[in-house]
């Protein structure tokens, strides 16, 4: 009787020990998973991206064949890109959120944007613009980067490739530039995305469509996330 009780007691100890071990293993696993998620969240929050809506305020930018103002188009698309990035957990800073520049004159406005980028030191800055050309048959989306920035070139390739996947009217090749003020005066990698040509009537009409703007925003955001390896 005493032996059976002892065996039962030992069996109970064994069962309890097994359950305790399973509980501890389960708890440790959850702690590791939680820690991993928190680390991933922290890493995303550390990756700040600046979105610059070109022009604004007194500066309308390019004017389309049907009177479309570039500054308005830039802001619409930038806000859509912002939404996609925030949904992915990225910290986003906008140079403007309404129809106002950062200074009264165009020169001072550009200087303020460059100052913000250099002081904030984002992982990447993307400036949204619309293009124009004397020949109205020219059209397509194109990403510009600073000629002497290898990181900028890498980012441009990734974003242009992402734009190719969203089936836009036409994707052009990335292009290096060493004269644009924003590209040559900023320390972090900066891209200028020319979404399309307002001088092309057909493309201007597309750029005014919310669905086409969404395609552009999705492509730009996906490119940024791919560059950030998220």
φ/ψ (deg, to 5) at 173: -85, 155
Give the tens place of pLDDT for each residue, 118-157. 999 999 999 999 999 999 999 999 999 999 999 999 999 9
> At residue 208, does pLDDT exceed 70?
yes
The domain 47-227 is placed in CATH, from the list 3.40.50.620, 3.40.630.40, 1.10.760.10, 3.40.980.10, at: 3.40.630.40
Q: Quick one: tokens of 158?
A: 């990734």
Residue 167 pLDDT: 86
Q: What are the residue ranges spanned by the domains of the chain?
A: 1-43, 47-227
Q: Has residue 38 got a pLDDT over 50?
A: no
Q: What is the pLDDT of residue 20?
A: 55
The arrangement of strands across the sheet holding 142-146 comes to: 91-94, 48-53, 124-131, 190-197, 142-146, 175-177
User: pTM for the whole thing?
Assistant: 0.82
The total of other beta-carbon atoms located within 10 Å of residue 33's CB is 10
Please report the pLDDT score of residue 66 as a whole number. Answer: 97
Q: In this structure, is the dihedral angle defined by the CA atoms of residues 180, 181, 185 and 187, taken in order, positive or negative? A: negative
pLDDT: is 56 or 27 the higher one? 56
For residue 125, the cross-strand partners are 50, 190
Q: What is the chain's mean pLDDT, rounded?
A: 89
Rounded distance between C-alpha atoms, residue 230 and residue 222, angstroms = 9
Torsion of the alpha carbons at 91, 105, 180 and 210, rounded to the nearest 10: 50
Residue 220 pLDDT > 60, yes or no?
Answer: yes
Q: 173-201 burial, b if ≥16 CB within 10 A, otherwise e?
A: ebeeeeebebbebbebbbbbbbbbbbbbe
Confidence at residue 18, expressed as pLDDT on a 0 to 100 scale: 58
């Amino acid at each position: 009787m005493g032996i059976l009780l002892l065996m039962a007691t030992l069996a109970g100890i064994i069962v309890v020990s097994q359950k305790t071990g399973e509980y501890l293993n389960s708890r440790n696993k959850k702690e590791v998973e939680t820690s991993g998620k928190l680390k991933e969240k922290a890493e995303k929050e550390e990756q700040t991206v600046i979105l610059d809506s070109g022009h604004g305020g007194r500066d309308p930018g390019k004017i389309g064949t049907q009177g479309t103002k570039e500054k308005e188009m830039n802001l619409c698309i930038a806000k859509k890109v912002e939404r996609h990035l925030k949904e992915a957990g990225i910290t986003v800073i906008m140079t403007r959120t309404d129809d106002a520049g950062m200074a009264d004159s165009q020169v001072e406005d550009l200087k303020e944007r460059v100052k913000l980028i250099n002081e904030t030191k984002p992982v990447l800055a993307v400036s949204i613009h619309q293009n124009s050309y004397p020949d109205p048959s020219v059209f397509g989306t194109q990403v510009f980067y600073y000629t002497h920035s290898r990181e900028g070139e890498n980012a441009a390739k990734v974003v242009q490739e992402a734009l190719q996947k969203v089936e836009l009217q036409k994707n052009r090749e990335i292009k290096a530039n060493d004269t644009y003020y924003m590209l040559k005066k900023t320390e972090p990698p900066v891209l200028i995305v020319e979404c399309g040509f307002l001088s092309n009537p057909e493309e201007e009409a597309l750029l005014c469509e919310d669905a086409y703007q969404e395609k552009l925003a999705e492509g730009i955001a996906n490119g940024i996330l791919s560059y950030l390896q998220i």
